[in-house]
Structure 1
Amino acid sequence: MNSSRVIVVGSANQDYLVRTPRSPRPGETTIATSLAKQPGGKGANQAVAAARLGADVHFVGAVGRDDDGARILRSLQTDGVSIDDVSIIDSQPTGLALIMVDDAGENSITVVSGANSTVTADRASRAVRRLAQPGAILSLQGELSVAVLEASVRAAADTGLRVLINLAPFTSIASDVVALADPLVLNEGEAAEMTGLAVADRAGADAALEALRSRARSVVITLGPEGAIWATSDATGHAPAEATDEVVDTTGAGDAFTGAMASAIARGSSLADAVSLGTRAGSFAIHGLGAQSSYARAADLGI
């Protein structure tokens, strides 16, 4: 039985996007050209990206009992994401991300966890077990605690769920948890941190991929404008990104990639096809400002 169910255990933040001609140097003040507020958080981003491509998405996380939290929940529901497993917390405000985007579309991000820090390993693992069904996939990122990530993965393994682990931002997790990743998804910087190798070009990325393929069931390394490379125990491949002359904002492009991959895997696609769809979704996302607001729907990608 193939399922389109994607279970996302992850963060939900209110993004504050500041546009500036260039990033300030240490001690320097720059004048921003605009400020926008949008829903974000790596977990919520990936949930929306998967849902917009037709997946049955269930989000497990937490927001504060405040206007930002209410706005995030409304946005998730509008995109068809189930919020039955999102806790509303009185003791912490909704998480937020301060995002600076320069004229080249590059960004720098600072995250304040807020309510995300209240998600416990016990609650997350119980939700995973309850939501599990044949053919579904669990998707996780690095913005919640290591304890939550590891407990969720082990619960998924107990129930036969396939697991996608996106270690963004990078955090060290137990080797037996890494071994369950199918796939483990990293960008170049995260792959460098995990392997200790220099990943400054395609050759470095290929070396990191080779070093990681024995540590997880499958591995994907994203390469920005060069697309992504992937490996299983017996095959490797490269999915090029679509060429583009205009980059508006790279914020959330990696989440668009990962959410699209999860939706494809849940539909029964091969890893190669899932990575290909991910690169198309990521390429689409960089043409819009912000994360979720820039994500593709099925019709945008011709699926």
Structure 2
Amino acid sequence: MNTRLPAVTVVGSINLDIIATTDRLPTAGETIGSGVLSQQPGGKGANQAVAAARLGGSARMVGAVGGDGQGRVMLSSLSSVGVDVSDVAVLDGFATGTALIVVDRDGENQIVVCPGANSGFSLEGVSFSAEETVLCQLEVGLPVVMEAARRASGFFALNAAPAMDLPAELLERCDLVIVNETEYELIPALSGAKLVAVTYGADGSAMFERGVRVASAPAAAVTVANTIGAGDAFCAALVMGLRSGLSYGSALAVANAVGADAVGDASSQPDLGRLEEYVARVADAGVAAR
């Protein structure tokens, strides 16, 4: 493994997460009382940038917040963990993106995202170096993701969530696509992508080259507190592991360990150790990547 961790630039969403924790999720038309309300920084893009920084990488965030108090809080939160926010636009006339989330006692959730400023920014004036790893998701407009893919000259990764049809040009540009098992089924074109990582929850994760499984790793057992930020932590760790020279199987095992720590934390942006600590943990545990 290369001890110099890669520079990661995340192009994506920045949200305020408003979370109601309840014993169970409501059904259609049902009202459930006795919820506990909390607010915290979130958004798939911001979550991934924070995870990259906490894992010890150099992290830059490209996105947008509104010209409101919530936007200032989001910028302060990102900066406080070492994320470079110089390319986060502050858009007057837009509200900061907001996610309304209900989480039950088992960590399962329902989420409604109100994109706000996430739908209003562009990449004007933003550049990428060949050394940077660029990581995108689909909580921002597809045109922004397409533009990032065209501009990025180095390693380009896409967390294809939420699931949608992807242009052939975008898929061919992706050096790596990361999805969960549901998203993999909802995007048939991924079977032809050059490299796809798929997460299976308690069943671990696997890597596919042009639809052929080439590696897999088991999940780590953990008590679930919140699944909201776990996938984002997995994405950051997997990209950093691969770019640091880990094999497919080892990178999956390390990302699974990071995701396990994240799912055991109630925060959308959980505390994490440095990447090399997870590499050592996986090695010491003798995790059998295949």
TM-score higher than 0.5: yes
Aligned to 2:236: 259
Following the alignment from structure 1 to structure 2, what is the Cα–Cα distance between the partners of residues 189 and 181?
Answer: 20
Following the alignment from structure 1 to structure 2, what is the Cα–Cα distance between the partners of residues 169 and 273?
Answer: 26
Distance change >3 Å, CA 32–CA 140, structure 1 → 2: farther
Cα displacement (A) at 1:302: 6.1
Following the alignment from structure 2 to structure 1, what is the Cα–Cα distance between the partners of residues 235 and 242?
Answer: 11
Following the alignment from structure 1 to structure 2, what is the Cα–Cα distance between the partners of residues 185 and 280?
Answer: 16
Could you tell me which amino acid in structure 1 is paired with residue 216 of structure 2? H
1:243 aligns with 2:221: yes
Aligned to 1:268: 245
Aligned to 1:71: 73
| 1:78-157 → structure 2 map (5 Å cutoff) | 78-120=80-122, 122-123=123-124, 126-127=125-126, 130-134=127-131, 136-156=132-152
| 1:1-303 → structure 2 map (5 Å cutoff) | 4-120=6-122, 122-123=123-124, 126-127=125-126, 130-134=127-131, 136-156=132-152, 159=153, 161-195=154-188, 212-213=190-191, 215-232=192-209, 236-244=214-222, 246-292=223-269, 294-298=270-274, 301=278
Following the alignment from structure 1 to structure 2, what is the Cα–Cα distance between the partners of residues 262 and 57?
Answer: 12
Following the alignment from structure 1 to structure 2, what is the Cα–Cα distance between the partners of residues 147 and 243?
Answer: 39
Following the alignment from structure 1 to structure 2, what is the Cα–Cα distance between the partners of residues 235 and 35?
Answer: 42
Could you tell me which amino acid in structure 2 is paired with residue 140 of structure 1? C
Could you tell me which amino acid in structure 2 is paired with residue 258 of structure 1? C
Contact 1:6/1:266 (8 A) holds in 2:
no
Deviations 1:184-215 (A, max 9, x none): 111111111112xxxxxxxxxxxxxxx735x2
Following the alignment from structure 1 to structure 2, what is the Cα–Cα distance between the partners of residues 3 and 52?
Answer: 12
Cα displacement (A) at 1:62: 0.3
Distance change >3 Å, CA 3–CA 132, structure 1 → 2: farther
Following the alignment from structure 1 to structure 2, what is the Cα–Cα distance between the partners of residues 240 and 295?
Answer: 22
3-state SS in 2 of match to 1:148: helix
Could you tell me which amino acid in structure 1 is paired with residue 214 of structure 2? T
Runs (5+) with no aligned partner, structure 2: 281-290
- Quote the sequence identity (%): 36
Following the alignment from structure 1 to structure 2, what is the Cα–Cα distance between the partners of residues 26 and 253?
Answer: 26
Cα displacement (A) at 1:178: 0.5
Cα displacement (A) at 1:262: 2.1
Deviations 1:82-131 (A, max 9, x none): 001000111101000011000111011110000111112x42xx52xx23
Contact 1:137/1:265 (8 A) holds in 2:
no
3-state SS in 2 of match to 1:248: coil
Following the alignment from structure 2 to structure 1, what is the Cα–Cα distance between the partners of residues 142 and 135?
Answer: 14
After TM superposition, which residue ranges in structure 1, 4 or more long, deviate above 4 angstroms?
A: none
Following the alignment from structure 2 to structure 1, what is the Cα–Cα distance between the partners of residues 102 and 34?
Answer: 9
3-state SS in 2 of match to 1:179: helix
Deviations 1:236-281 (A, max 9, x none): 111111012x211111111110011122233333333322221111
Measured on the aligned residues, the alpha-carbon RMSD in Å equals: 1.9
Cα displacement (A) at 1:149: 0.8
Contact 1:191/1:221 (8 A) holds in 2:
yes
Aligned residues between the structures: 276
Contact 2:5/2:56 (8 A) holds in 1:
no
